Structure 1
Amino acid sequence: MIQVINRALDLLEQIANEPEKPKSLTELADGLSLNHGTCANILKTLVTRGYVEQIGTKKGYILGAKSYYLTGNKSYQKDLLEAAREEMDALTLLINENCLLAVLKDNQRIALYRTFAEQDLQVRTTDIKPVYDSASGRLLIAMLPDEKKQRFIAKFGLPTGDSWPEIQSESNLLETLALIRREELALQTIANRHVMGLAVPIYKNGLVVASLSIYLPEYRYMALDKRQLIASLRDSAEKINKRLV
């Protein structure tokens, strides 16, 4: 038996007993008779991998999105899901394109719910994706308060490789994010895949809690009434916002 793996699983099981009730480091360590330093290191790894979520400094730990995805359990952010599901289904029925509801976690955008169009050619995206690589991720970064945005950039850096080739400097990134924030709209063209992504914010109590996106092949996007497509996306987001009040 590999001890550190055994301890990590013990921690996950202890958190999963009450998955939405935050448990402090002291509570978890003492409950398993673990050294606090050892427990903190294991939790740090589980948080980094998305299996555990730290609510805030000294506020405790709950199960992360990855733990729910392993079981197909959709209860993560259930209030958001309940508000969005019907409206997203209606949006996909209206525009016949795939839609995605996502949240920000560290430097990743995590899909909570998706709908699929009845098209022979569809765009698929992964459940977890680096934020710079997606319209939804870019939108979520742009909508962060300025202080959190600066902390994000300081911690995770600028886009690298092909993740966002238009961005060449921090000032360039901040200007682009400011434009996205003003317009409350992120557009992404993935040239090598001929894919378009569009994303708008979802609000709860005046704060952005998620993004609503449409992903489709570029050739279909070019043939559509783009203003109407964006209007439909915004209208669906507004209906979700009202359900979250």
Structure 2
Amino acid sequence: MIKVLHKAFEIIQCISEYGAAMLPSAIASSVGINQPTCVRILRDLVDLGYIEQLGPRQGYMLSLQGWATFSRNPLIERLLAEGSPLISQYAEKTSQCMFLCVIRNGRRYTVFFRNGHPTFNLVPQRVAYDDCHITATGQLLLAIGPESDRQAYLEQCPADVDHKTLGKLFTKIQKQGFAVIHRKEDFHAIAAYPVYMFGKPVAAVSICMVGDNIKKAEEQRLIKAAESCAKELSSRLGVHLP
């Protein structure tokens, strides 16, 4: 049992450090066990909620729970400690879905999520997005982050992504200080605001607005709620907003 637990933690560490989805063969080779044993441990870790299988032959990644639990990053721990109760509070107050996200090496990660909507069963499908420009938090953090990070992201974008259009979007977000995406087929809108620490943006808070008949005034109220949540979290982190 102890050996199995040891290998389970090795597998989690291996997947965490790799970042992208890993196939069982690569995981087994990395941790030094045979593939059938590796697959059995992977299934147990999926059942426990620490990793997720993206699909047949697509590999495994840390789940939202796994990433939050095993990411021993002081910043992430601080964000979780201060942010999770606040995000939960705002999700319940607005009856909407709230996210706390960061960007690492061109990938957008969900650090914490709370669904406060009474009927809409939203569950994050992925803990990380490589194409983070399609998310409001990803757009925001890329736009207000270092120029070198934006350029690196643009260089690795798929060929069908219009760099000029994306660059204009980043400029717009920089000027207004937040990002909003409207996508009526899934939800009404998502709005994201930055969270600051040591004078630098370290994360983003977003609100997913769910509802068929959300009027402009209600949309603005929810956007303001996301802004208030981000500012309050920044204040709890003990920094002055720029």
Shorter-chain TM range is 0.5 to 0.7
Gaps of 5+ in 2: 1-5, 23-60
Q: How many residue pairs align between the two structures? A: 192
Gaps of 5+ in 1: 1-8, 17-41, 51-65, 161-167
User: Structure 1's 169 and 102: CA in aligned 2 closer, same or farther, altered over 3 A?
Assistant: same
User: Structure 1's 114 and 224: CA in aligned 2 closer, same or farther, altered over 3 A?
Assistant: farther
Structure 2 counterpart of 1:115:
114
Structure 1 counterpart of 2:99:
100
In the TM superposition, 1:66-105 aligns within 5 A as 66-67=61-62, 69=64, 71=66, 74=69, 76=71, 77-105=76-104
Cα RMSD (Å): 3.5
User: Structure 1's 121 and 182: CA in aligned 2 closer, same or farther, altered over 3 A?
Assistant: same
Whether 2:18 is the aligned partner of 1:46: answer yes
Tell me if structure 2 keeps the 8 A contact 1:98–1:122. no
Structure 2 counterpart of 1:188:
181
Q: Tell me the secondary structure at the aligned position of residue 185 of structure 2.
A: coil
Q: Tell me the secondary structure at the aligned position of residue 99 of structure 1.
A: strand
Tell me if structure 1 keeps the 8 A contact 2:68–2:112. no
Structure 2 counterpart of 1:147:
148
Aligned identity (percent) is 16
Shift of 1:213: 0.6
Alignment match of 2:192 (pick from 199, 216, 224): 199
Whether 2:163 is the aligned partner of 1:170: answer yes
Alpha-carbon separation, structure 2, partners of 1:84 and 1:220: 30
Shift of 1:49: 3.7
User: Structure 1's 80 and 73: CA in aligned 2 closer, same or farther, altered over 3 A?
Assistant: closer
Q: Tell me the secondary structure at the aligned position of residue 210 of structure 1.
A: strand
Tell me if structure 1 keeps the 8 A contact 2:137–2:205. yes
Deviations 1:84-109 (A, max 9, x none): 11211221122110101111133432
Deviations 1:108-146 (A, max 9, x none): 321111111142134443222330221111111112122
Q: Tell me the secondary structure at the aligned position of residue 116 of structure 2.
A: coil
Alpha-carbon separation, structure 1, partners of 2:19 and 2:225: 36
User: Structure 1's 172 and 67: CA in aligned 2 closer, same or farther, altered over 3 A?
Assistant: closer
Structure 2 counterpart of 1:62:
none
The TM-score normalised by the length of structure 1 is 0.65
* 1:186 counterpart letter in structure 2: A
Tell me if structure 1 keeps the 8 A contact 2:100–2:204. yes
Shift of 1:72: 7.1
Alpha-carbon separation, structure 1, partners of 2:94 and 2:197: 25
Alpha-carbon separation, structure 2, partners of 1:70 and 1:93: 20
Alpha-carbon separation, structure 2, partners of 1:118 and 1:197: 14
